[in-house]
Structure 1
Amino acid sequence: MKIFRHIQTIVALLVLLTTGAAAQSSMPDLRMVEAQGFAPVEFNDENSARMRALRNAIENASLQGASNIQSTQVMEQGNLTVDYLRVSSSAKVSDVQVMSESREGDLYKVSILAKVDPKKMCANVMSNHFRKSVAVTGFPMEHPEHTSLGRLGSVDRSLAALLVNDLSGLNGVRVLNANYMTLYPNSESAPTQISPRMTLTRAVTAAKDLGVQFVVSGVIRDLAMENPDAPRASNWDGWLKKVGISKASRTRHFVLDIFVHDGYSGALVFQTRYRTYGIWNERNNAQVGFGTAKFFSTNYGEQVRIMLNQAVDDLQETIQCQPFMATIAQVNGKRIYISSGAESGLRPGDYLSVYRTSQKFDRQGESFWQITDTRLVAQVKQVQPYYAVADLPIDADRLNLQMDDIIMAW
């Protein structure tokens, strides 16, 4: 009896501990955080200083939620030549409340109270209602011969059209079909054709030609059958398996690389390889076509559809985690004309940070685009469907603003 009672006690304790751990794990990770931000006041422009101080406070709140510290030290002949420390965060800040703000001399101070979720992405990014413009280019095939089964030769353009259709209407995205163009003449080396600074100047050119902020591209690496000579499935397969006779499965692979480049700097902001496979039981001479109803009715097509759904989710999250950007189309005194309007969600009263752009060259002669913060903001005054008008606190000549410089909103 004593042994039985001991066992009962141990079991009760285990149940209590398990229940407590489950309750603790189910507790929300959201917590309220207080943070402060500071920014210098330049050109006596308090609006610009306030926006930078608010962004600094949000970054500080995010770091309190979850921070990652990376340190690198390089020693050469006993001397410290490189000492690098980077602190980053992956915590999402939301429901920001400004508790107090004031100007002290040439310094602007903002105190906030915000919710921080360490499990969410888009750290240090203030949520906004703007829709970022995206162009989806064609997807070249590394092995075009793989498309012969099922007549899938149109996959290079049809895949881009599918992504455009899936992305259309999603929050924060305004998508354009550019499946007639490709960024990689040599698909085998994509995206290693970028410069040592991880930029792709072809993406900048394409973005300017198309008038978009991001360029989605990629390469179809594999569409091959694992056992191309395997017989098609039949009703007799179950009986044959019972007597110990099995056939090779008609497994077909789909391997896809997707890249997202920032259209203003050419920087690679997203890169992922997607893999899937399924059973391809169609006749060798069947004209199925990629993306058709017949294609998605196959087991292989079902698996490809699941993979593409994941890719669309990843693309939307990546794009939403980036700031909104648009080019300056015209400069006139304190007034600037922006090449985005109501279609992107701009509204009168919005504040937009102003940046200079310039083309630079590294030691290898590779060109790259540099974006420089002017530390000023422009306030939107008028909005039309495809452009907006904003006012600066000082004359644009003092900043040497030019056409094709940019505005940004976090």
Structure 2
Amino acid sequence: MFAQKNKSSHCIFMALICLLALYVGQVNAVWYEAKGQAIIMKGDKHSARKAATEEALKQALLFAGASINSVQQLTNGLLESEDITISSTGEVNQVELVDEVWHSDYVTVTIRADIFPKEQICKASEYTKHVASSYFSVANREHLLDGQIADFPAAFTRHLATLMDTHGTYAKLSYIAPYTTYWSPSTLPANVRELAKVADAQFVLVGEITDLSVTREPPSRLAFWADEDATRYFAFDVAVYDGLNGGKLFQRTYQTQDTWPFDRFAELDEYSQSFWSTAYGKAIDKQVAKFIVDLEETTSCQPLTGRVLQANNTNVTVSLGRDNGVMPNDELYIYQTRQFTDGRGETYLQYNIYPGVFIVESAYSNSAQVRHKDANVIINIQENDFVIKK
């Protein structure tokens, strides 16, 4: 039985995965059993069942190391079948419904999947990558007036970090600069590199909340005493950058909408659990879940990279440690970078690799001491050089 993630009866992220049998009937195939839960929104059991099934299958796939472009595509085909069983020539050979249990406001679905893991799972996925960000900006601050949620950008960024820490596998939002950055295209690569350096992070998130608008439908004249129906929208645009060279890895937009249960003059606490446990908060959480999957698919196989913190004639201290999964006797490589400009004015990044392999002698929570595998004397290595674990 594998360790279970933090459990909540109202959490769509929960999944319990059990290894049932190894190499049964097919070479290299493994059966996984997983449970997923989803809240029943507005009595829509079909959507809840679909969401719970999607979450269970996604967790089984990620745990097994399978790689698919879209779990959504697979589960849409899955749910077309009455007994929730599919066959495929891809990484998922078969998925079966084991059980579904309906509660008053949520459903639990158990599936069993026959999964072919990747032929070669990258070694880099064993290590935790640290991510940095500043508070997300907001495109239209007037959207913050309804509910008096002026601190929503900061609250959302912190909530994102919590969800990444709780439900992520490979990437953790370990540093949030306590301010909002308005990124200028001309200075963005340099600012990304600087934030990554300050935070000892490998990747940087640049995010903007593009929609927080509310639409309200007044009650009919025949039911003038009823409350108006309100819907709130949510959309955020996020780009992920390599903190070493400032290059963009991907950029996507996530959007949703749901019932907004609050009066326009209400003063809400956007940091509170009562806010995030609303239907609107849960709708945002589902978009964040999609982002976490996209982020980890993008970064999991990127080599683990850190910086040299201190160097002397015999030992080097680096910014990678046990928090990243680095342990004594691991092998690391150290290199320098420099920018140069060619005759046409084009700027390039040059990598100068220090010869040989470095061995981790002592690993601490966020640092490690390393020594050269063959040489007794270390020369030319400087603070802020880079270290990589392949």
Which category of TM-score, normalised to the shorter sequence, fits these structures?
A: 0.5 to 0.7
Paired with 2:124 and 2:28, the residues of 1 have a C-alpha distance of: 17
Give the structure 2 partner of residue 168 of structure 1.
165
SS at 1:158 equivalent: helix
Task: Quickly say closer, same or farther: Cα 1:222–1:30, change in 2 above 3 A.
Answer: farther
Give the structure 1 partner of residue 248 of structure 2.
268
Q: Does 1:206 align with 2:195?
A: yes
**Structure 1 residue 236: deviation in Å?**
5.0
**Structure 1 residue 120: deviation in Å?**
5.3
Residues 5-404 of structure 1 mapped to structure 2, 5 A cutoff = 125-127=122-124, 129-169=126-166, 170-185=168-183, 193=185, 200-225=189-214, 227-228=215-216, 230-231=217-218, 236=223, 250-333=230-313, 335-361=315-341, 369-374=349-354, 376-392=356-372, 393-394=374-375, 395-397=377-379, 400-404=380-384
Paired with 1:284 and 1:267, the residues of 2 have a C-alpha distance of: 41
Q: Is the 8 A contact 2:175 2:199 kept in 1?
A: no
Task: Quickly say closer, same or farther: Cα 1:380–1:152, change in 2 above 3 A.
Answer: same
Paired with 2:219 and 2:272, the residues of 1 have a C-alpha distance of: 21
Paired with 1:402 and 1:315, the residues of 2 have a C-alpha distance of: 31
- CA displacement, residues 161-215 of structure 1 (integer Å, 9 cap, x when unaligned): 00111122543344324151344246xxxxxx168xxx71101001111222222
- CA displacement, residues 223-279 of structure 1 (integer Å, 9 cap, x when unaligned): 112x45x22699959xx9xxxxxx996332211011222211112123211011112
Q: Is the 8 A contact 1:142 1:219 kept in 2?
A: yes
**Structure 1 residue 159: deviation in Å?**
0.8
**Structure 1 residue 154: deviation in Å?**
1.0
**Structure 1 residue 383: deviation in Å?**
2.4
**Structure 1 residue 127: deviation in Å?**
4.2
- CA displacement, residues 310-338 of structure 1 (integer Å, 9 cap, x when unaligned): 22333344332321111112333353221
Paired with 2:118 and 2:292, the residues of 1 have a C-alpha distance of: 18
Q: Is the 8 A contact 2:131 2:203 kept in 1?
A: yes
Paired with 2:199 and 2:219, the residues of 1 have a C-alpha distance of: 45
Task: Quickly say closer, same or farther: Cα 1:342–1:232, change in 2 above 3 A.
Answer: farther
SS at 2:337 equivalent: strand
Q: Is the 8 A contact 1:266 1:368 kept in 2?
A: no
Q: Is the 8 A contact 1:218 1:259 kept in 2?
A: yes
**Structure 1 residue 220: deviation in Å?**
0.6
SS at 2:265 equivalent: coil
SS at 2:283 equivalent: helix
Task: Quickly say closer, same or farther: Cα 1:174–1:300, change in 2 above 3 A.
Answer: closer
- CA displacement, residues 28-56 of structure 1 (integer Å, 9 cap, x when unaligned): 7958xxxxxxxxxxxxxxxxxxxxxxxxx
**Structure 1 residue 372: deviation in Å?**
3.8
Paired with 1:248 and 1:333, the residues of 2 have a C-alpha distance of: 72
Q: Is the 8 A contact 2:132 2:201 kept in 1?
A: yes
Letter in 1 for 2:196: A
Task: Quickly say closer, same or farther: Cα 1:365–1:283, change in 2 above 3 A.
Answer: farther
Paired with 1:318 and 1:250, the residues of 2 have a C-alpha distance of: 36
Q: What is the TM-score of this pair, normalised by structure 1? A: 0.58
Paired with 1:337 and 1:130, the residues of 2 have a C-alpha distance of: 18
Q: Is the 8 A contact 2:311 2:381 kept in 1?
A: yes
Which has the higher relative contact order, 1 or 2, with Cα contacts under 8 A spaced 6 or more apart?
1
Paired with 2:274 and 2:172, the residues of 1 have a C-alpha distance of: 29
Q: What is the TM-score of this pair, normalised by structure 2? A: 0.61
Gap regions ≥5 residues in structure 2: 1-24, 30-66, 69-89, 92-114
- CA displacement, residues 335-356 of structure 1 (integer Å, 9 cap, x when unaligned): 3221232333321110112222
Letter in 2 for 1:155: F
Task: Quickly say closer, same or farther: Cα 1:155–1:233, change in 2 above 3 A.
Answer: farther
**Structure 1 residue 405: deviation in Å?**
1.3
Task: Quickly say closer, same or farther: Cα 1:358–1:231, change in 2 above 3 A.
Answer: same
Give the structure 2 partner of residue 24 of structure 1.
none
SS at 2:320 equivalent: coil
Paired with 1:300 and 1:333, the residues of 2 have a C-alpha distance of: 57
Give the structure 2 partner of residue 103 of structure 1.
none
Paired with 1:205 and 1:348, the residues of 2 have a C-alpha distance of: 29
Percent of counterpart pairs with the same letter?
24
**Structure 1 residue 403: deviation in Å?**
2.0
Give the structure 1 partner of residue 95 of structure 2.
none
Paired with 1:234 and 1:178, the residues of 2 have a C-alpha distance of: 49
- CA displacement, residues 16-74 of structure 1 (integer Å, 9 cap, x when unaligned): xxxxxxxxxxx97958xxxxxxxxxxxxxxxxxxxxxxxxxxxxxxxxx99xxxxxxxx
SS at 2:317 equivalent: strand
Give the structure 2 partner of residue 71 of structure 1.
none
